[in-house]
Structure 1
Amino acid sequence: MTAIITATPALTDVTTAVRAALRNAADWDEAARAVADGLRPVLPGPELLTPEQRLGDPDGPTGHVLHAEPDGSFSVTAVIWRPGQTTRIHDHITWCVVGVLQGVEHEELFDEHLNRIGAGDNRPGEVNGFAPPGDIHRIVNTGTETAISLHIYGTDLTRVGSSARRYYEPAHAEK
């Protein structure tokens, strides 16, 4: 992941909404719901990133940490996915909220035995949140254009390095 960028008005709107949403969240499920609800009206467009950042990397999805809250309670990251790029099946160390800024992100959901239990396309303007357990998934850019999403995690990614708790390498997981 790249270093934190300078705050912009759009990023300030996002961090203000996240702080307000977290004030009364009693647990991770509530935090994910409240942050998703707070992010929807202030979800920025892809211009939040520089043209160079929006290019992504041909070797795999690229993340840019845009903000890390000083108390470690959350961080905001933009992820750029070129067509065909995918994550490994994984789960998370904390709650997460994702808003799609550009393109289409196809998400596959798995149960604890790695049986596929759902799938769907997330399009620009859509915001979803989740919290462990039950957050085993994989993301694929199935579109023909670069996809960009904003990820808000309930931890400081500059300190922990990754939001992934575990990666799964199942022989039988559906692709």
Structure 2
Amino acid sequence: MRPISSTIDTRCPLHDNYRGSRLISRIFRLRGLFGTAPATPEPRSAMTTVKYSLEDFTRDMESLIESQPGNQQIFDKGSAWLERLVSNPDSIPMEFRMPLGTGPRPNHASRMLYQGESGLQVTAVVWGAGDHLGPHDHLTWGMIGILDNTLTETRYHRVDDHNVDGYAKLEKDRAANFKPGEITLLIPETDEIHQMDNLTDKPTVEIHVYGNDLRSIDRHAYNLESGKVTTFRTQKWDNC
């Protein structure tokens, strides 16, 4: 089944019939300490006026995953494709670009765009003005592209010995403000603990890409003051 588009309703798409493998990868950031963005691959079509769509992105990613490439290749190509996707102002429908306005997090929204049998997952995430999410991990590779506005990301790493269950001591690593068209990457168990803040007065819209369905992963939220670690799992999406 094709990804959600502006021509259909907001229910979650079913799995597409692709094969894939779990990928645990060593990757690089596109900005700041870890160098610059890789060269963009050749476009799928010579018609440069054709916008790169969500369907193009998921097809390219699934094809790449199915070929079982090296870790460098999947992130080199995948991040460049995501950069093209978030540079397309029509990549997701307008109804996916606003916070929910109701429920326990009215100033936030997380909506499913695509879920593949390979594990590839694509979501649209909206951070309303002043929205905040404390430090948490992902335990799968991830790529996040900014579509609208800006977002402040703060990275942390653990400095404890991991010997006490339910406890972690974090140390701030770096912080960066990401603007439209920019990408930030998540390295599982190495460089993936981050805090997200929208410090502006309007919504920030992102496209998140993960190597596995977050609903199947027991992840962790970290309390900076007490050191308490809380295990959680994404239960559902706001359009499911």
Percent identity over the alignment?
24
CA contact (8 A) 1:81 1:146 kept: yes
**Superposition deviation, residue 24 in structure 1:** 4.2
**Superposition deviation, residue 44 in structure 1:** 5.0
**Superposition deviation, residue 46 in structure 1:** 5.1
CA contact (8 A) 2:54 2:85 kept: no
Inter-partner Cα distance in structure 1 for 2:84 and 2:94? 24
Q: Which residue of 1 aligns with 2:142?
A: 96
Whose helix proportion is higher, 1 or 2? 1
Consecutive unaligned residues of structure 1, counting only runs of 5 or more, are none
Q: Which residue of 2 aligns with 1:147?
A: 204
**Which string of whole-angstrom CA distances, capped at 9 and with x for unpartnered residues, describes residues 24-57 of structure 1?**
4334x66444421232223354543433332213
Q: Which residue of 2 aligns with 1:26?
A: 70
Q: Which residue of 2 aligns with 1:39?
A: 82
Q: Which residue of 2 aligns with 1:123?
A: 179
**Superposition deviation, residue 92 in structure 1:** 0.6
**Which string of whole-angstrom CA distances, capped at 9 and with x for unpartnered residues, describes residues 138-169 of structure 1?**
11111222100000000134x52xx6711001
Report the RMSD for the aligned CA atoms in angstroms: 2.6
Q: Which range moves more in the overlay, 44-53 or 146-155? A: 44-53
Bigger Rg, which one: 2
Q: Which range moves more in the overlay, 105-114 or 48-57? A: 48-57
The 5-angstrom pairing of residues 61-72 of structure 1 reads 61-69=108-116, 71-72=117-118
What SS class does the counterpart of residue 76 from structure 1 fall into? strand
Inter-partner Cα distance in structure 1 for 2:81 and 2:155? 24
Count of aligned positions:
165
CA contact (8 A) 2:62 2:118 kept: no
Inter-partner Cα distance in structure 1 for 2:80 and 2:62? 12
CA contact (8 A) 1:75 1:152 kept: yes
Q: Which residue of 1 aligns with 2:224?
A: 170
**Which string of whole-angstrom CA distances, capped at 9 and with x for unpartnered residues, describes residues 56-113 of structure 1?**
13424210110001x2321100000101101121011200001100011100011113
Identify which of 99, 121, 126 aligns with 1:56.
Answer: 99
What TM-score comes out, normalization by structure 1 length?
0.80
What SS class does the counterpart of residue 125 from structure 1 fall into? coil
- Matched residue type, 1:135: E
The 5-angstrom pairing of residues 151-162 of structure 1 reads 151-157=208-214, 159-160=215-216
- Matched residue type, 1:4: C
Identify which of 61, 68, 81 aligns with 2:127.
Answer: 81
Q: Which residue of 1 aligns with 2:188?
A: 132
CA contact (8 A) 2:153 2:197 kept: yes
